[in-house]
Amino acid sequence: MGRGHRGRGQTPIGMTIPAKEEMNMKIAVIYLTKTGHSRKIANAIAGELNIHAEDISMNPGIADVDILYIVGGIYGGKSDPIMIEYIKGIDSTMVKKAVLLTSCVSKKFKQDEVREILRRKNIEVSSEEFVCQGGLGFIGRKHPNSSDLENAIAFVKGGQTP
Ligand SMILES: Cc1cc2nc3c(=O)[nH]c(=O)nc-3n(C[C@H](O)[C@H](O)[C@H](O)COP(=O)(O)O)c2cc1C
C-alpha cells in the first residue's frame, strides 16, 4: 500500500504523542520526508527536546499540544500533498501553536500552504520559519550537515515560538 493510503484512520487522532512537559507545555515534533532530510532535522530537534519525532506518513495522533514543530521538504515548489492532507486534519483543539522548519534545495521556498491552512484554523504559527539547505542530486548533496542541524537546534532553543 502506498504512503498516501497508509495514514488516515489507522491511528485515531487524539492519541497523545510523546512529548516533553517543559514549563507546563507539551511539545511535539512531526515530519514528512521523501529523501530523509526532514527526518534528520526532526530527529535533531526532537533529541534536543528529549522526545521522539513522529513520522506524518504513520498518521500520528495529536492531542493537547502546546507547540508543534512541523518539518517538511519542498517538491515542485510545494509541500507534499500528504503533508497538506495531514495538516488539514489538525484543528485548534489539538494544537495551540505551530513552528515550521523547511528543507529546500534552493532555500527559496517555505511551507506557505501549511502556514495558510493553520492560520485559517486559528492556530498560531510562528512568523519565523527555519529554512534548511536541502539537497537534490549534486546540489547540496552533503546537506543537511552537522552545522545545519546545529542551526535547527539553535532555532528551536532560541525560543522561536509564536
Ligand atoms: C521530487 C522532488 C522535487 C523537488 N522540488 C524542489 C523545488 O521545486 N524547489 C526546491 O528548492 N527544492 C526541491 N527539491 C529538493 C528538496 O526540497 C530537498 O531535497 C529537501 O531537502 C527534501 O527534503 P526531504 O529529504 O525531507 O524529502 C525537490 C526534491 C525532490 C525529490
What's the 72 CA to ligand 1 centre distance in angstroms?
Answer: 10
Q: What is the pTM of this model?
A: 0.87
In-domain check, residue 66: yes
Contact indicator for 40, 137 with CB cutoff of 8 Å: no
How many domains are contained in the chain? Answer: 1
Poorest-confidence range of 17-31, 42-56, 105-119? Answer: 17-31
Which pLDDT tens digit goes with each residue over 67-125? 999 999 999 999 999 999 999 999 999 999 999 999 999 999 999 999 999 999 999 99
What pLDDT does 15 receive? Answer: 43
Here the cell at position 122 is 486559528
pLDDT value, residue 22: 52
Domain encompassing residue 138? 3-153
Average pLDDT of the chain?
Answer: 87
- 156: closest CA among 106, 98, 90, 108? 98
pLDDT of residue 23: 63
Q: Which of 20, 44, 50, 22 is nearest to 31 (CA)?
A: 44
pLDDT on residue 14: 40
**Ligand 1 neighbours by CB, cut-off 6 Å:** 33-38, 73-77, 103-106, 108-109, 134-136
Is residue 162 domain-resident?
no
**Ligand 1 pocket: which of 32, 35, 111, 141 to mutate (most atoms <8 Å of CB)?**
35
Model confidence band, residue 155 (pLDDT cutoffs 50, 70, 90): very high
The CATH number covering residue 82 comes to 3.40.50.360
Q: Which atom of ligand 1 is closest in space to residue 77's alpha carbon?
A: 8
Q: Indicate which atom in ligand 1 lies nearest the CA of residue 106.
A: 11
| Residue 36, domain member (yes or no) | yes
Neighbours of 57 (CB within 10 A): 18
